[in-house]
Amino acid sequence: MKKTALILLASIIALLSSCKFGPYQFAFTEENVEDRSRTITRLQGPYLPSGTNGLSTYSFLIVTDMHIGAGHYKHNHNGFFIWFQTMMNCPDPTKRPQFIINLGDIADSGRLSEFKDYYIWSEKVRDIARNSIDGIQDFKIYSVVGNHDLYNNGRNYFLNYTYPHIYSYCFDFANNSSTQGFEFYFLDSGNGTLGRYQLEDLQSKMKKSSKPKIILSHYPVYAGGILVVTLQDTLECAKILTIGAENNVKLMLEGHAHRHYTYNYGRMYEEVTPSYASNNAVNLITVDETLGTCVTDIKYF
């Protein structure tokens, strides 16, 4: 019994340290998600992905937990840029990322210098996209807020330096105009909860469409049962899963845990992407709009 308890304690410590929980986690008193994200804004027009190649099968890229500014990580940015350039010129056009989604913890301490460094990283990514086979001139890098992004009052820096300069939003997107495409929901879980208002608006908006959907957030809902890195309100988690099951959610994509976790709910699939900073990993998502399916593929650089 004592040995089991020690193993459990060691596991918890390892998990907490992966995303710097503990005293640092509670060193700052950020505003509540209810103040930031009472509604989910629907984006249209110029806010939609501009890298459309017209194919009914296409890919986008998930990046998460960059923790820019954290000295204990050896960020392999050059390795990523080389890999990304190769993918943007891939002979298979369905594997060329049409946009990127960053799932939070962009900054490690929420400081201005960290977000400025992220902007420099983003400009390099956009430059590679402009000079790729598809020549995407306005390559989009969408973001959701992570808990670290809020430290040291980082909320304003997050809004200023990440696209589309809002916390909680959604959009409809079809890469091929002859398909119904997918709905994407970007949720604010920066305080470890969606909050009542955001959750209610999520349910309300999802009920209005039968399209297949993708949910994107920083905190996982389940993460393979590792509860210490998930949303902590189990009732809220149950509601999210119910909303997803009732409204044709195909995929939930999350970060925060720094490790790769998956769970198959039958019609809905959850995948936690490993950390860019600590694992040199990203996640290539290939969408088939005709079949309404998504295939995930963890890539290392």
- The structure tokens listed for 223 are 């993460």
Reading the block at residue 101, the tokens are 């989604």
pLDDT digits (tens, 9 = 90+) for 195-245: 999 999 999 999 999 999 999 999 999 998 888 999 999 999 999 999 999
pLDDT, mean over the chain: 91
Q: Which residues pair with 63 in a beta bridge?
A: 102
Spatial CB neighbours of 50, under 8 Å, sequence gap ≥ 6: 136, 137, 138, 139, 140
**In contact, 54 and 176? CB cutoff 8 Å:** yes
Q: DSSP readout, 46-96? A: GGS-------SEEEEEEE----BT-TTS---HHHHHHHHHHHHT-SSGGGS
- The angle formed by the CA atoms of residues 211, 257 and 156, to the nearest 5 degrees, is 75
Sheet arrangement for strand 57-63: 141-143, 97-102, 57-63, 281-288, 293-300
Please write the tens of the pLDDT for every residue from 279-289: 999 999 999 99
Q: What is the pLDDT of residues 156-207, one digit of tens each?
A: 999 999 999 999 999 999 999 999 999 999 999 999 999 999 999 999 999 9
Superfamily, domain 2-300 = Metallo-dependent phosphatases (3.60.21.10)
User: How many DSSP H helices and E strands does the chain contain?
Assistant: 8, 12
pTM more than 0.75: yes
**pLDDT (0 to 100) of residue 279:** 97
- The rounded distance, in Å, linking the Cα atoms of 283 and 301 is 11
Q: Terminus-to-terminus CA distance in the chain, angstroms?
A: 41
282, β-bridge pairs: 299
Domain boundaries, the chain: 2-300
The CA distance from 42 to 184, in Å, is 10
Give the residue carrying structure tokens 């920083």.
Answer: 218
Beta strands 169-173; 41-42: pairing state: parallel
